[in-house]
Amino acid sequence: MSYRLKAITREEHLAFVTARPSVSHMQVPSWGDVKPDWRAQSLGWFDEDGRLVGAGLVLLRPLPKLKRYLAYLPEGPVIDWTAADLERWLEPMLTYLKGQGAFSVKMGPPVVARRWSAEAVKAAIADPQARHLRDVGATAHEPRAADLADRLRRMGWQQTEPGGEDGFAAGQPRYVFQIPFAGRSLEEIQSDFNQQWRRNIKKAEKAGVKVVQGGYEDLPAFYALYVETAERDRFIPRPLAYFQRMWTALQAEDDDRMRLYLAHHEGEVLAAATMLTVGEHVWYSYGASTSRKREVQPNNAIQWRMMSDAHELGAAVYDFRGITDTLDEDNHLLGLLRFKAGTGGQAVEYLGEWDYPLNKVLHKALDLYMSRR
């Protein structure tokens, strides 16, 4: 017998995710307010006794001129992914979303498939034969992940291939870099940093770099650096209004959901970053910096302050978010991977994003449209 699925209130949804140690920041009710082009709904799974046992934030994006939607559950839903009867969880979701006018469902199971230690990542970067991280032997395999992927395929779900040459998918990153914090002191965490990281933190301190927490009024200062970073790193920046909306929405839900940090030196803001927190999981979300005065190492200083604050908040993991899967020396994202690997954490591969075409014609049309963008 399947679980009963229905729309739930934001309050029910928030209470459910708050009671769990680790839930993606994209699966809290306020994330729907960050995405005004999508219609957000909180979904709840109920057992036979009427208890709420699962939850998901679904974002519905309308097709132009049609009352049909792409339904997207980024890094969710929050259900029992180890369940032997996974169909009982996913079939009611598909039925419900079809009734809402969805032509296709995309989800990102929050399930880890493989991990690579910082040493393994560094060795892979140094190996001229290694082209992609996914082809390099992992330090640890999660045995249940392969079984789960097989079961999803048998149920008709299709795995989205990692997008583009840099390994960043069109949706959420499949490869991320994380530092385990659980049960470790700050001293133990820093002892895993490479020499350059430790030296740079000391350099910033000696040069007088001051890292402070900012507020809504500091978002334009962050944004100016973010636009400069976008030009340097060749990506399209989001508008300032996006970050202002993000701040307002997330802060309204929880004072610690989003923080802004700025690295000052001699009256000038040299770097800025946003940090997101849900339960015991902390994410470095957006980073920005100027090319000026790089020698005072503001980026290392800001990361160390954020890690220290995350540790104080009781974080079990500090998440650097997306990394490139490509190990090509000519790839401009490789420097970012090196920077993150210097912390001694681990590269983590998630199960990736999965699609279920409820209407094959419309799903194929969307695929074609996305491939031509």
Residue with tokens 């005072």: 296
Please say if the pLDDT value at position 283 is more than 50: yes
Region 223-250: what's the mean pLDDT?
A: 95
Q: How confident is the model at residue 66 (pLDDT cuts 50, 70, 90)?
A: confident
Model pLDDT, residue 286: 96
Percent over 90 (pLDDT), the chain? 85
Q: How confident is residue 313, by pLDDT bands cut at 50, 70 and 90?
A: very high
Mean pLDDT score of the chain:
93
Q: Which residues of 310-342 are buried (b: 16+ CB within 10 A; e: fewer)?
A: bbeeebbbbbbbbbbbbbeeebebbebbebbbb
Strand, coil or helix: what is 368? helix
Q: What is the pLDDT of residues 175-226, one digit of tens each?
A: 999 999 999 999 999 999 999 999 999 999 999 999 999 999 999 999 999 9
Banded pLDDT at 233 (limits 50, 70, 90): confident
- The one-character DSSP state at 3 is P
Residue 165 in this model has a pLDDT that exceeds 90? no
Q: What is the pLDDT of residue 1?
A: 73
List C-alpha distances in Å: 339 to 40, 122, 279.
35, 11, 26
Question: Residue 106, Cα to own-chain centre: how many angstroms?
Answer: 16
23-46 residue pLDDT tens: 999 999 999 999 989 999 999 999
Instruction: State the pLDDT confidence band at 162, using cuts at 50, 70 and 90.
Output: low
- pLDDT tens-digit map of 251-272: 999 999 999 999 999 999 999 9
> Distances from the Cα of 178 to the Cαs of 284, 303, 337, in angstroms?
10, 13, 12
Q: What is the pLDDT of residues 118-156, one digit of tens each?
A: 999 999 999 999 999 999 999 999 989 999 999 999 999
350 backbone dihedrals φ, ψ, rounded to 5°:
-90, 175
Whether the pLDDT of residue 51 is over 50: the answer is yes
* Residue 249 DSSP SS3: helix
